[in-house]
Amino acid sequence: MIDGKIIHRKLNKMPYSGSYQGMRFYLTAKEEQIEAYVYPEPFCMEKTPDDQKIHRQFPFNEEGFEQVTDWLNQMFEEKKEFWREARKNKFLI
């Protein structure tokens, strides 16, 4: 699962990206909001087509960090097979 403590420390300084078992994510802070995206491997945020990205916003505060962490983990659980398939196929490109 994705650890919210790491997100909190990193996002305070700059945008934060990572991946978890085929699901990539990108977080940035804009105007007191956390902009959160999830998308499949293998490409970075800029190279992934927009129609493959899921986007949500959260408040930039303690509650928002909890919410974004919960959302990332929920997105993984809801589409677990999709993310794992993306992970498995990333070397086929």
29: CB partners within 8 A, 6+ apart: 11, 12, 15, 35, 60
Q: What is the pLDDT of residues 13-35, one digit of tens each?
A: 689 999 999 999 999 998 889 99
Q: What's the CA gap between 79 and 31, in Å, rounded?
A: 30
Enter the pTM of the model: 0.85
Q: Count the residues in the chain.
A: 93
pLDDT digits (tens, 9 = 90+) for 57-91: 999 998 999 999 999 999 999 999 999 999 987 76
- The C-alpha atoms of residue 35 and residue 93 are separated, in whole angstroms, by 28
Nearest to 5 by CA among 43, 62, 83: 62
